[in-house]
A and B are shown apart, each in its own frame.
Chain A
Amino acid sequence: MPQRTIQEARQHLDGLAEVMSPKALSPFQAEFDGAQTAAVDMATRHMDTTFAAVAALSDRVDDQVRDVRTGYARLIDEGQAGRITAREFNERFTKLRQQQRDAERRATEAARTAERLEAVELDPEGWADSLYQRFPLTRPHFSF
């Protein structure tokens, strides 16, 4: 049985529809519908997993930024009150800046993943087909 992407199967089915009766075509159409549903289901599972990962990453970034802001507030208070030297201030400031950059890097990563998720949402079937293109042995089998 040939393995095809959804797009390839659709084109093949369209070709058959020109020469076959609707009744004869019906089982092939059902096969195609099943494969299409399976492809969209696969995309949905991927989106659910990606959503959970990005949401969790965003939570971690949010916590990290909150910690950084708390650290800045304390540092600024102590600095303004003159309770620490410029050297101590600078050491803590450098650490906070590092944590801040790390949080910003994670936030960028989360935003990029969210953009990819949006692309899958717009075209789940196309996303599944892109996987079938990259991994041909995972393409669905068709009897036509």
Chain B
Amino acid sequence: MSNQPQHRSRRLRSILDDVQQSTAKAQQDALRAEDVLTALEDREARRAVRDSTLNPRTTIA
């Protein structure tokens, strides 16, 4: 055999462990992005409320 027994799977496991770590970090990034999105939506909602308070739509009878 060109390699020692289990040589390949050990190397692959090491490669896949690295991929898994990167994938886990990407999931943490996604959580952070989710938080930022929530903050953006809150900010826009507050701004909309503030704008409507400052410039109330006048109804002409």
- A-side residues, CB < 8 A to B, are 40, 44, 47-48, 50-51, 54-55, 58, 61-62, 65-66, 68-69, 72-73, 75-76, 79-80, 82, 84-86, 89-90, 93, 96-97, 100, 103-104, 107, 110-111, 114, 117-118, 121-122, 124
Residue in chain B with minimal CB distance to A52: B8
**Contact in complex: B8, A117 (CB < 8 Å):** yes
What is the total number of residues of chain B having a CB less than 8 Å from a CB of chain A? Answer: 33
Interchain CB contact under 8 A, B36 and A65: no
The answer to whether B40 and A118 touch across the interface, beta carbons within 8 angstroms, is no
CB distance from A54 to the nearest CB of B (A): 5
Chain A contacts for B32, CB-based, 8 A? 72, 76
Residues of A within 8 A of B9 (CB): 114, 117-118, 121
Assuming the A-B contacts A69-B22, A110-B19, are A117 and B12 also in contact, with contact meaning beta carbons closer than 8 angstroms in the complex? yes
Can you list, as one digit per residue, whether each of B11-49 has a CB less than 8 Å from chain A (1) or not (0)?
A: 111011011101101110110111011011101100000
Whether the Cβ atoms of A79 and B33 lie closer than 8 Å is: yes
Least distance between A20 CB and chain B CB atoms (Å): 31
> In the complex, are the beta carbons of A121 and B12 less than 8 A apart?
no
